[in-house]
Chains A and B, each alone.
Chain A
Amino acid sequence: MSDEIVLQTRALTKVYRDFWGRQKVRALKALDLEVYRGEVFGLLGPNGSGKTTTIKLLLGLLFPTEGEALVFGKPASDVGKNERLGYLPEESYLYRFLTAEETLDFYGRLFDMSPTVRNERVDSLIKLVGLERARKRQLQEYSKGMTRRIGLAQALINDPELILLDEPTSGLDPIGTREMKDMILRLKDEGKTIVMCSHLLADVQDVCDRIAILHQGELKELGRVDELLTVADVTQIRARNLTTDCQNEIRDVIARHHGELLAMDNPTTTLEELFLTIVRDSEARPGRRAGVR
């Protein structure tokens, strides 16, 4: 992770209006975010909290009502930024009458790749997502998991620097979920910047360096996952090989260094708990930033 900002929002606000221009939903309220090169950034929030809206604004699929979204320092409406990013949508929005191969070939062409580069990329990506045996089948025959994987391959076709993943593990079984998370970590190791949004807490906890928690379009929490999850005034002791006596005298034992001390550090709560507190807190006092810490 470096100091270079790849993605930035300034007071980003989105109001959905109906056909007559009347206000329907305030989906996002004055969001300020910065994402640095090389980190995995998680957008966390319950359904309808504005995660997808944020991603769409970053991609220029939606226009902000107020504020602005910058990607690589350029406004989100600039097409040029797309050269360097990949996007996996919430659901697979791919042409169902194309095969896996044709799909990747098509998107490769949209990056103006030469045929040799394209074929190479298509082959390696199909291998990467494990669809070798289904490469000549139309996407309409694919299962949800396979569709998700071809969706990911599609997002990686240009070897992007910045990857936006909208609910990457939705619809995947535990194994698929695991594979997806490993993939994200691998991409991170390759130096890519990843922004993912999810309502699945475990996923976010496992892979994200930093997270932002959104609720009803408002930013509730922002910070490093490890810091956020630290409870400062509690000490946790994990020990092994303790007899019943020892357990009874555990404080003495520790004080006198009789047992084998495996760990003595600050315990963490689960992300789940933090998340739920924030949501509850937000419901009780809307419009305020949560004060859990």
Chain B
Amino acid sequence: MVLEQQLLPYFQWLLYGGNGELGALPKFALVFLGLVMAALVVGYAIAAARHGLLRGGDVTYHTIVDGLREIVDTSPRRIWALARLAIKESLRRRVGVALGVYFLILLFANWCLSTNHQDPARLYLSFVLTATTYLVIGVAVLLSAFSLPGDFKTKTIYTVVTKPVRAGEIILGRIIGFAIVMTVLLALMSVASYVFVVRSLNHSHDVEVDSLEKIVDASGNVTGRSGRTTASAGHFHEFRLDAEGFATTSTVNGHTHEVEAVGDNSFRISGPNGFIRARVPQYGKLRFIDRSGAAKDRGISVGNEWTYRSFIDGNTPATAIWTFDDVGPHVREDYLPLALIVRVFRTHKGVVGRPIQGELRVRNPDTGATSDPFPFDAMDQQVDEYNINRELTTNNGQPIDLYDDLVTKDGRLEVLVKCLERGQYFGFAQADCYIRMPDGSPAASYAKVCVSIWVQAVIVIAVGVTISTVVSGPVALLFAAGFIILGLWRQDFVDIATGKSYGGGPAESVYRILTQANVMVRLEEGVLTTLLVGFDRFFAKPIMWAVAQFLPDFSAFSTVGYAAEGYNVPWDRVFQDVTTCLAYVVGLALIGYFLLRTREVAR
């Protein structure tokens, strides 16, 4: 699971922020104030142009004061009436078709996706969830963008606005109505997807009777039997039955089965377990020691453009060190469950497919007491799970207790990882080693992913409804689509605006494209260059920056990755997303309110 930025606890996120960002609430206030200021200036300019300077001021003042008064008059019953209307309208416009399309997609998926894959759950989940996201967002855009313009076109809006309806209620009613329709669609789709994934992945094996062999211990007693299952869904498992005749098979393609001997040669094998998981990681802090033994924040670079992971060289003192807080017997009484993901970078091939050796130690950060190393074999980018037993020995053979001796009083523990082979490298990011807390419920985590899809769709609905107060349906559609696309590339926007990306702003980039100068070439000094850079600096970049301030980061909303890679979606994440969504709905409804109020309905 790639976590480029640490997830902040909800209240810290809301009030104080972190990761170089302001708290969400102060940021919302700032953006909101900025928008209000801009709206005031623009509103006054328009009013002044229409009515003259003084009267323009008067009109602006009254619009605002009346507007604020009307917000107080908002009636839930009217909002609900308008929401019901929006629902009926959606039904009349046959939103149900979306479900039909969805089932076609599932059918198609059934054909094309293979269960014979090293992680079929990931394949299936990311496919169905991505399909759901696109379809739901598509429906959200279509419903919201064409609704109000339709009312203007058929003039049905005349009979509505001549009732005591506040403009805000028209906006909110629509947002709520379409959100309800979308919620039902999403619920149906996600339940269908879940059932589809579980059923598609479901398979069972038999025991290959010929493969059974007795396991005999040193004194010649039979302690169990080993064997393998028949092949099914393109794979088979190995297992070792214990004396009571129970076994959990080896993990293949991300799952296991339970085997139970019910007679001498007859067995019962369960369905697959562990396909869909909700791992709950407790992350630590990562630092490095380089090959000369000096402390570093990052390891070395192996030349990847993506600098998420950094590397340690094999067979040198280079070490990756994670410090965990809050470690103790409350995690697990008798062992410490760890997970490690290693990115292996080979400078020579060796034997293809053979894992690279590494070692792992645990250490007390205060006393420096260190356990004997555990060797492990690292396969590239696979989650390896280790259980560190409580009874350990130090490197000179003394027995020590993990929780009593290696964990400090305040619960800190260090995990040290090294690569053992010369000329090979291990790459790590902070999220690559974690303590495995008990798994969450996969279904609940899946539901949380659906909430994140819901959040995106609600924002899209709010955008669509708001913009459709002033433009026609197709234009509103384009606008909402543009909003989503810009939102997906929001980070690039910010990077260009803040000069982080190469090649300059829009004007300079266009010039570079036209003159076929790559992004690194220095432009010749001159009037043209000065003009271009000046335009970018004082016009284009500030606008991009301003737009980026209220664009939602759509790529960051998606939690499909969590479900696909088998991680639990943290509640902090869900609350943050829902809060953001709420902020957008409130902000957009307000904007929509003023747009609708200042628009001549009978134009």
Contact = CB atoms under 8 A, between A and B. Distances in A.
Interface stretch (B84-92, B121-129, B293-301): B84-92
Nearest to B85: A106
Contacts of A127: none
Contacts of A95: 85, 88-89, 156
Interface string A77-96: 11110110101010101111
Interface in A1-57: 56
B601 A93 contact: no
Interface string B49-84: 000000000000000001000100101011011101
Contacts of B600: 61-63
B158 A110 contact: no
A80 B70 CA distance: 9
Given A61-B601, A93-B156, A95-B156, A82 B85 contact: no
Contact of A56 (B77, B156, B602): B602
Contact of B166 (A59, A79, A106): A79
Contacts of B158: 61, 87, 89, 93
B70 A79 contact: yes
B307 interface: no
A112 B73 CA distance: 11
DSSP majority for the B interface? helix
A93 B154 CA distance: 7
A112 B154 contact: no
B391 to A, nearest CB: 71
Given A109-B80, A112-B75, A94 B156 contact: yes
Contacts of A97: 88-89, 92
Interface in A143-162: 154, 158
Contacts of B75: 112
A62 to B, nearest CB: 5
B164 A110 contact: yes
B76 to A, nearest CB: 9
B163 interface: yes
A110 B88 contact: no
B5 interface: no
B109 interface: no
Contacts of A80: 164
Nearest to B157: A93
A26 B437 CA distance: 75
Interface in B135-174: 154-166
A93 B602 contact: no
Contacts of B84: 106
A62 B81 CA distance: 25
Contacts of B603: 62
Given A61-B162, A63-B600, A110 B78 contact: yes
Contacts of B163: 82, 107, 110-111, 158
A98 interface: yes
Nearest to A63: B600
A63 B603 CA distance: 10
A112 B162 contact: no
B78 A98 contact: no
B78 A109 contact: yes
B590 to A, nearest CB: 17
Given A87-B159, A89-B159, A110 B81 contact: yes
B164 A112 contact: yes
A94 B159 CA distance: 7
B588 to A, nearest CB: 21
B319 to A, nearest CB: 69
A216 B70 CA distance: 37
A17 to B, nearest CB: 10
Given A61-B162, A87-B159, A109 B154 contact: no
A20 to B, nearest CB: 13
Nearest to A154: B159
Contacts of B156: 93-95
A106 B81 contact: yes
A197 to B, nearest CB: 15
Interface in B211-269: none
B64 to A, nearest CB: 13
B157 to A, nearest CB: 8
Contacts of A98: 88
A98 B602 CA distance: 23
Contacts of A91: 155
A128 B165 CA distance: 25
B509 to A, nearest CB: 33
Contacts of B165: 79, 82, 110
Contacts of A59: 162
Nearest to B82: A110
Interface string A99-124: 00010001101111000000000000
Given A85-B162, A102-B88, A110-B160, 8 more contacts: A79-B73, A79-B164, A80-B164, A87-B158, A95-B89, A106-B84, A109-B78, A109-B80
8 contacts: A59-B162, A61-B161, A62-B602, A79-B70, A82-B164, A83-B164, A95-B156, A106-B85
Nearest first, the 4 A-B pairs at minimum CB distance are: A109-B81, A61-B602, A110-B163, A93-B155
